[in-house]
Structure 1
Amino acid sequence: MQKSTMNNYLPQLAATPQQLIQSNGQPVFGLFDGSIPDFNLRDFVYQNLMDKKANPLARYFQYKQFQFICVTGSDWLLAVAIADIRYANSGFAYLYRFDSNLAISKGVLLPGALGCRMSDSPSAGEAKQGFAAYKVEIKTSATHWQLSIDTKELKASLTIEKASQMPLALCAPTGYNGWTYTEKSNALAVSGTLELQGKALDLTQALAGYDFSAGFMRRQTSWRWASINAVVEDQAFGLNIAAGVNETGLCENALWFNGQIQHLSPATFVFDRKDEKKPWQVSSLCGEVQLEFTPLYCRQEKVNIGLLASNFRQYVGIYTGFVVLQNGSKLKLNAVKGLAEDHYAKW
């Protein structure tokens, strides 16, 4: 690894509170050094745009939540999501094979809470979604996440170890009166079983990442996002960076290398929506990240049904470039597998 003269980005971390909502009825804002165990949403005092107490219906429908897991193996990538947007719930599970450029993808979009149950805690909860032909379940605890998938072609029973490293955890103001809690961790050890069309896939080199996001989010929002779980220079390497959300004095950008987290400066994504094969340029404000992403596969969906709209594109591809570690060393990435996402939502 080469040394770099680039400046380090060193944000101040706050001690993790035991509860998200304070005695004044408002959330604790900050970048934390661990996972918040109790959201105690019942104590949140939610006000409307005129500073009056929001009615129960608005309080219910304006709270959103999604959970996401990605597992990257030697020649494949698995991505799974469950989202509760109150008016509807959606989810997907797909597996992409790099060796054959083929993907098996399943998904659901159901009205209201039909077939879906979520939890308010990233460290003590359970999320379920689906019906007879499509079932996904995520269980969270302080030490690990468990993922089960049961579809005709894709089956999984996986355990993702989260206790080995510090997560990226933050709560940021959103819009005038909302907030968003985000917790993510990448480059985590994974064990269990994963089958594609009845054939077991090798988990020996697999690494996983998770995302727990919830809160009173903007009615209309959009984001760009990049994620990596890979072995680089014989060490576990993870990356999570985004632009468009959680940027009210904070940003949800970090890398993990050999079990250590490094927070990163705000990110920029340059790409062409009209040319989905054209590489993306992904970089950070202080220069710690300089990457090019080449898309290979895209899972996309467009929904526009009045109250709800979603223009979603999640790409599987490869990253090439470098990141600068806290000690100034330049870590080179050469054709590393990962994800990129471009999403607009009205919810």
Structure 2
Amino acid sequence: MNPAPQTVVTHGAPAMGRYAGRISRIDWSPMRERRSWLWHKLHHKRWHYVGLGNEQLFIGVAIVHLGWTCTAFAYLFDRRRRTLLANWRQDGLPGLQAGVSDAPLAGARTWFRGPGARLTLCHEPDDSLRLTVATRALRIQARLDLGLMAPPLLAIGSVDGGIVHATQKTTALPVQGWAEAEGHHFGLDGAWAAVDASNGLLARNTAWRWASAHRADAGFNLQQGYFGGQENVLWLDGMPIALADAHFDFDPTQPLRPWRVHTDDGLLDLVFTPEGARAEDRDLLVAASHYVQPIGCFAGTVRAGAGAPARRIDGLLGVTEDHRSRW
């Protein structure tokens, strides 16, 4: 993959493609003449998501700005008890209760404030991201080290029914810190984290299937849906490798049964065995979200390129997701 451009819009057009490296900001203001101010207000969607885990737990935290509303969630899945010890979510008013930074990594300042809740993801001078969650159900203090990370993915592309989307995704970031839920204290030192910073002008109805798993030697991100295969990437020993279109073979009515995820180029073929899941089914008439995110481990084979020897993957902790939104 080529190095990341300095801006997502160059010479008046999106810089379409998949790149390796950081971008300072995702700024769609040069695209405003494409549609009305109101359309942009309603269709500009952006979020920061952090997934992190170790042998004891998996944590997912997201702050989402939908233009006309905002939401945040944070959960802790106890892998030994195979249960969600914390599963918190709250909606709010954009600008007043939440802000999602256009800076994906360096310079990021994303936050949510609501009754009994304070969440932040902020870039620190030591080139780390500080994740703070303070809710009645869950408390987290974590430092995600960006200093020695592998080149992150930057994907920029068109979307059906919308205009354009961009996402910056990291692989394994070293973690330090702690989490508390239901009277249990967990050390996070030695865990691995991945950050998903996404920002786009999307369609009202948007659906995707997604898989993400990361550790120091291997990680990947796959998506099938509104963004096509544009964010499909494999990291092997810190080297990002672009992947072809992904396929998700699973039973949507029984998402805790095994999934198979694989790519058309044969570089990734894995079986995912869920240990548990976070799910949500909301229909608010003007908006709806149908979502399940199983947590578990991937096993199978990956390759660095066509004709390269297969490399065995076992016990790679991560998530899959089946999601449909009307937003």
The aligned residue for residue 4 of structure 2 is 16
How far apart are the structure 1 equivalents of 2:240 and 2:136?
38
Aligned to 1:187: 172
1:187–1:256 CA contact under 8 A, matched in 2: no
5+ residue gaps, structure 1:
1-12, 48-53
Residues 195-250 of structure 1: CA deviation (Å, up to 9, x unaligned)? 334544233431110100111012211111111123xxxx5322211111322xx5
Count of residues in Structure 1 that have an aligned counterpart in Structure 2: 322
Letter of the aligned partner of 1:330 in structure 2?
A: A
Task: Determine whether 1:329 maps to 2:309.
Answer: yes
Instruction: Verify: 1:133 aligned to 2:113, yes or no.
Output: no
- Name the structure 2 match of 1:51: none
1:343 corresponding residue in structure 2: 323
Shift of 1:67: 1.0
Q: Quick one: distance in 2 between partners of 1:140 and 1:329? A: 39
Distance across 1 between alignment mates of 2:60 and 2:138: 12
Equivalent position of 1:106 in the other structure:
88
Task: Write the distance in 2 (CA, Å) between the matches of 1:187 and 1:152.
Answer: 29
The answer to whether the Cα contact below 8 Å between 2:152 and 2:170 also exists between their aligned partners in 1 is yes
Q: Which deviations, in whole Å up to 9, do the C-alpha atoms of 1:83-122 show, x marking residues without a partner?
A: 1112321121111111111212111123555521121121
Q: CA deviation at 1:42?
A: 2.9
1:44 to 20, 27, 31: 31
Superposition deviation, residue 280 in structure 1: 1.0
Length-normalised TM-score, structure 2: 0.91
Displacement of 1:264 in angstroms is: 1.6
Q: Specify every segment of 5 or more residues in structure 2 that has no aligned partner in the other structure, as ranges.
A: none
Higher Cα Rg: structure 1 or 2?
Answer: 1
For 2:187 and 2:286, the matched residues in 1 are separated by 43
Distance 1:193 1:275, change over 3 A: closer
Alpha-carbon distance in structure 2 between the residues aligned to 1:74 and 1:288: 27
Structure 1: distance between partners of 2:6 and 2:304:
31
CA contact (8 A) 2:208 2:324 kept: yes
Distance 2:197 2:90 in 1: 19
Q: CA deviation at 1:145?
A: 2.3
CA distance in 1, matches of 2:137, 2:204: 36
Residue among 91, 100, 103 paired with 1:121 = 103
The 8 Å contact of residues 258 and 274 in structure 2, kept in 1 or not, is answered as: yes
Give the Å deviation of 1:332: 1.9
Which residue in the other structure is 2:221 paired with? Answer: 240
For the structure 1 residues 324 and 17, does the alpha-carbon distance in structure 2 shift closer, same or farther, using more than 3 Å as the test? closer
C-alpha distance in structure 2 between counterparts of 1:100 and 1:173, whole Å? 42
* 1:145 pairs with 2:145: no
Distance 2:227 2:186 in 1: 36
State how far apart, in whole Å, the 2-side matches of 1:40 and 1:97 are.
38
Shift of 1:35: 1.9
**Correspondence for 2:17 among 30, 46, 67:** 30
Q: CA separation in 2, counterparts of 1:132 and 1:45? A: 34
Amino acid at match of 1:179: V
Contact 1:46 1:59 in 2 (8 A): no
Which residue does 1:8 correspond to in 2?
Answer: none
Deviations 1:114-155 (A, max 9, x none): 521121121322111132422211114794322111123422
Which residue type is aligned with residue 268 of structure 1? H
Name the structure 2 match of 1:71: 52
Q: Does the residue aligned with 2:23 lie in a helix, a strand or coil?
A: coil
| TM-score (normalizing by structure 1) | 0.86
Counterpart of 1:5 in structure 2 is: none
Rounded to whole Å, the distance in 2 between the matches of 1:319 and 1:243 is: 18
Once residues 83 and 40 of structure 1 are traced to their aligned partners in structure 2, the CA distance between those partners, rounded to angstroms, is 17
Distance in 1, Cα, partners of 2:128 & 2:244: 28
